[in-house]
Every structure is written in structure tokens, then in C-alpha cells.
């Protein structure tokens, strides 16, 4: 089984949230180059363009939660 067997299309909302986060943060550190409102608008516009252009973005299933070692 290869890693593409468990992929499914990401929703527009998932993509917008991910892109918006990437525009506002560098890893866990918040960037101050743009505010939250502008990041959201930019992400939504990018998603609309990708959908019109016929792109499908695939997403891996969520990873299982880490177990706490004792």
C-alpha cells in the first residue's frame, strides 16, 4: 500500500484555513506582515481560483493521537 491510497479531497474550508494560517504564522511564531482579515481574504480568493482552474488538493487522514508514556 502506498501513501496515496489513503488520500481524499480537501474541502475548500480546510484549504482556506490552512492557507490563512500559513499567511499569519511562521511555524508557531506569529508574523506581523499581515493581519488576520487580509490573510482570510487572500486564502479565500486563492481557493476560488484553484476551484475554477480545476485543481483538486488531496489530504492525508488525521494522525492518531500521541500516547503518553509512563
DSSP state of 4: G
What are residue 30's DSSP bridge partners?
25
Nearest to 46 by CA among 18, 65, 25: 18
pLDDT tier at 32 (50, 70, 90 boundaries)?
A: low
Cell, residue 67: 500516547
pTM: 0.58
pLDDT tier at 57 (50, 70, 90 boundaries)?
A: confident
Could you tell me whether strands 25-26 and 29-30 are parallel, antiparallel, or unpaired per DSSP bridges?
antiparallel
Residue 53 has pLDDT above 80, yes or no: yes
Q: Where are the beta strands (DSSP E) in the chain?
A: 8-9, 25-26, 29-30, 58-59
Report the pLDDT averaged over residues 14-18.
86
Amino acid at each position: 500500500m502506498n501513501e496515496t491510497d489513503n488520500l481524499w479531497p480537501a474541502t475548500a474550508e480546510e484549504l482556506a484555513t490552512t492557507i490563512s494560517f500559513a499567511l499569519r504564522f511562521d511555524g508557531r511564531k506569529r508574523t506581523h506582515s499581515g493581519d488576520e482579515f487580509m490573510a482570510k481574504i487572500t486564502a479565500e480568493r486563492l481557493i476560488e481560483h484553484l476551484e475554477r482552474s480545476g485543481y483538486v488538493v488531496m489530504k492525508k487522514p488525521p494522525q492518531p493521537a500521541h500516547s503518553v508514556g509512563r
